[in-house]
Amino acid sequence: AQTVTQSQPEMSVQEAETVTLSCTYDTSESDYYLFWYKQPPSRQMILVIRQEAYKQQNATENRFSVNFQKAAKSFSLKISDSQLGDAAMYFCAYRRWGLDRDDKIIFGKGTRLHILP
């Protein structure tokens, strides 16, 4: 069965600094998607960034980028120039690519990120 592990329950970073959140996953599939979702205090989960496993190039979205290591099954999120609005719970997630309607997204337990002014 697929699993997603986030080993850092909480992290803190100084405003304007860079922070990296770790995520590892376990799967026997070769084609899948990985996601980072953000859940701020408002509770609404928002997609931060997405990576297709068949693409070697790491995804980037403005200040957010990932380090995708397929062989190591590692998918870390780097936030550059951290801002107070980045304070949130961050969830790493996995979804197998396939034609099966029952495919579901598997989430990690999350990492709470604090931004220090």
Partner 1 sequence: ETGVTQTPRHLVMGMTNKKSLKCEQHLGHNAMYWYKQSAKKPLELMFVYNFKEQTENNSVPSRFSPECPNSSHLFLHLHTLQPEDSALYLCASSQDSTSRPANVLTFGAGSRLTVL
Q: How far is the CB of 28 from partner 1 (least distance, A)?
A: 18
Q: Give the nearer residue to partner 1 in terms of CB position, either 17 or 29.
A: 29
Residue 2: HSE in the Cβ half-sphere, 13 Å Cα cutoff:
23
Q: How far is the CB of 99 from partner 1 (least distance, A)?
A: 5
- Binding map of partner 1 across residues 74-93, x = CB under 8 A, - = no contact: -----------------x--
Q: Give the nearer residue to partner 1 in terms of CB position, either 17 or 26.
A: 26
The CA distance from 39 to 19, in Å, is 17
The CA distance from 20 to 92, in Å, is 13
- Binding map of partner 1 across residues 19-58, x = CB under 8 A, - = no contact: --------------x-x-x----xxxxxx--x-x------
Binding site for partner 1 (CB under 8 A): 4, 33, 35, 37, 42-47, 50, 52, 91, 95, 97, 99, 101-102, 104-110
